[in-house]
Amino acid sequence: MGLELFDLGGRTALVTGSSQGIGLALARGLAAAGAAVVLNGRDAAKLAAAAQDLRADGARVHELAFDATDHAAVRAAIDAFEAETGAIDILVNNAGIQHRAPLEEFPADAFERLLQTNVASVFHVGQACARHMIARGAGKIINIASVQTALARPGIAPYTATKGAVANLTKGMATDWARHGLNCNALAPGYFDTPLNAALVADPDFTAWLEKRTPAGRWGRVEELVGTCIFLASAASSFVNGTTVFVDGGITASL
């Protein structure tokens, strides 16, 4: 066995929140490994533009617009796709948002939005896809966690709580579904240059701090998440279950 362990030919991968940033980069990488990809987002226009971009590179792309925080909408969209188009073999739960504010002043409505987008969506989409995967006896679920799954910084305590929850929900998925042939794991990015981090990337003081704090000495590039995602989506990870893989330039390894 060799590189064929990582071949995703004949598989279909749904990536939530994939019209930009990490989600789009992961979709592009999964397509390059042979998978057909299903892009998801709430903005149909952004989704169509992202799909056109991937198709220009030769990817097989489907578009599936739904709100990942709406349980009924998620179930309807996933069930319809499975019935009309085909099986979703790989799910990447990537949809997520950030909100920065001192904890003592953190708006309650922002806290609720974080819970719904970062945690509830993982449950909604994970459950909807897993029902079909269980029936087939196979499936790959990859939940996008964060360096904040393990560490905290000022001003983002609720985000940190949601990403801790993603790691524990991943453990729960593996505990319930591994016996049905599913592999459920989390991928935890460190600090990457993405639209979600635009304010931090633009802050020279933060960038200087990050370069000193991270053993690799730099921001991550979204393309550097692709290899780990392909590993977790492929036969190469057949006995990996319930774990969180940090791709963070060493930041969680050092003081």
Kindly list the averaged pLDDT for each block of 10 residues, start to end, along the chain of length 255.
Answer: 89 97 97 98 94 96 97 98 98 96 98 98 98 98 98 97 98 98 98 88 95 97 97 98 98 95
- d(Cα 217, Cα 101) in Å, to the nearest integer? 27
| Closest residue by Cα to residue 14 from 34, 39, 51, 31 | 39
Q: Can you give the pLDDT at residue 10? A: 97
pTM over cut 0.75: yes
Angle (deg, nearest 10), helices 44-56 and 21-32: 30
Structure tokens at 231: 């590993």
Q: Can you give the pLDDT at residue 224? A: 97
List Cβ neighbours of 212 (8 Å cut-off, separation of 6 or more): none
Residue with tokens 């639209």: 195
Q: Can you give the pLDDT at residue 1? A: 61
Does the domain at 3-248 match CATH 3.40.50.1000? Answer given as no
**Catalytic status, residue 159:** yes
Give the Å distances, CA to CA, from 71 to 9, 23, 236, 245: 30, 20, 32, 27
Q: Can you give the pLDDT at residue 2? A: 74
Q: Can you give the pLDDT at residue 197? A: 86
Q: Can you give the pLDDT at residue 140? A: 98
Structure tokens at 6: 């990582």
Helix (H) or strand (E) segment spanning residue 111: helix 108-114
Catalytic pick among 106, 159, 177, 219: 159
Give the Å distances, CA to CA, from 144 to 48, 50, 97, 128, 136: 23, 20, 12, 17, 24
Provide the strand spans (E) within 159-240.
Answer: 182-189
How does strand 61-65 pair with strand 90-93?
unpaired
Structure tokens at 87: 């099986």
| Closest residue by Cα to residue 50 from 25, 26, 23, 19 | 19
